[in-house]
Amino acid sequence: MTPALRAAPRPRLQPATPAHAAVLAALHAVCFRDQPWHRPWRPDEMADVLALPGVRGWLALAPDPPPADGDTEATDMDTPVGLLLVQAVGFDADILTLGVLPGGWRRHGLARALVQEGEKTLDVAGVERVHLEVAERNIAAQTFYARLGYSQVGRRPRYYHDENGVSQDAITMCRSLSQSHPAANEPRP
């Protein structure tokens, strides 16, 4: 086997629909279980979000079981291990949620693949800027987004609250998409 094939599991990305609401809710709950300021979304809430105008979602599917270090040959690729939901409104879009399962699936490029797939779709749709909020204590996610070209643009004081009422700020981040997209060069309405 070549080193390239051992480097990381190759995710298969699948557009998510309201029919995936239960899977998405289960993924969301596990991805954010160590972040009590993120309340889990029930399947019906997830379905409602997916039905909102401009919302798109993706699932990352990868080999089961998780690859051990140095043993990442792709096999059956049918286990949902990550999710991304975005919402586009005009030239702007928001990342509503992003998560990859803990327990061996992280640091294999799955979130990067999800975000890049989302950005590609948004770019084609004419979106120019992608925004997000991330908890100030969530250094891992801030590092991840910075690595993908997102910059801090602001702060929302006491935006998140856990079940004990402890609050923390949200860091707002933004990235401009391709300036070469035709919509970026057209006169604004």
Task: Report the number of secondary-structure helices (H) and strands (E) in the chain.
Answer: 6, 7
Cis peptide before 65 (omega within 30 of 0): yes
**What minimum distance in Å lies between the beta carbon of 1 and ligand COA?**
21
* Spatial separation of the C-alpha atoms in residues 120 and 123, rounded to whole Å: 5
Instruction: Pick one of 6, 33, 120, 147: the residue that binds ligand COA (CB under 6 A).
Output: 147
- Give the residue with the Cβ less far from ligand COA, 87 or 138: 138
Q: Which residues have C-beta within 8 Å of that of residue 114, sequence separation ≥ 6?
A: 11, 13, 58, 60, 82, 83, 84, 98, 100
Residue at token pair 């030239």: 91
Angle between helices 21-31 and 43-50 (to 10 degrees): 110
Q: Does 106 bind ligand COA (CB under 6 A)?
A: yes
Is 111 a binding residue for ligand COA by CB under 6 A? The answer is yes
Residue 108 engages ligand COA in binding (rule: CB under 6 A): yes
Strand, coil or helix: 43: helix
Q: Contacting ligand COA (CB under 6 A), which of 16, 24, 31, 62? A: 31
Nearer to ligand COA, 32 or 126 (CB): 32
Applying CB under 6 A, among 32, 74, 159, 172 the residue interacting with ligand COA is 32
Stretch that binds ligand COA, among 40-48, 110-118, 119-127, 170-178 (CB under 6 A): 110-118
Comparison of 143 and 167: residue with beta carbon closer to ligand COA? 143
Nearest to 125 by CA among 56, 70, 46: 56
Using CB under 6 A, pick the residue from 59, 80, 119, 138 that binds ligand COA.
138
**Closest CB to ligand COA among 61 and 98?**
98
How many CB atoms lie under 10 A from the CB of residue 188? 6
Q: How many residues bind ligand COA (CB under 6 A)?
A: 20
**Which chain residues interact with ligand COA by CB under 6 A?**
31-32, 97-100, 106-112, 134, 138, 140-141, 143-144, 147
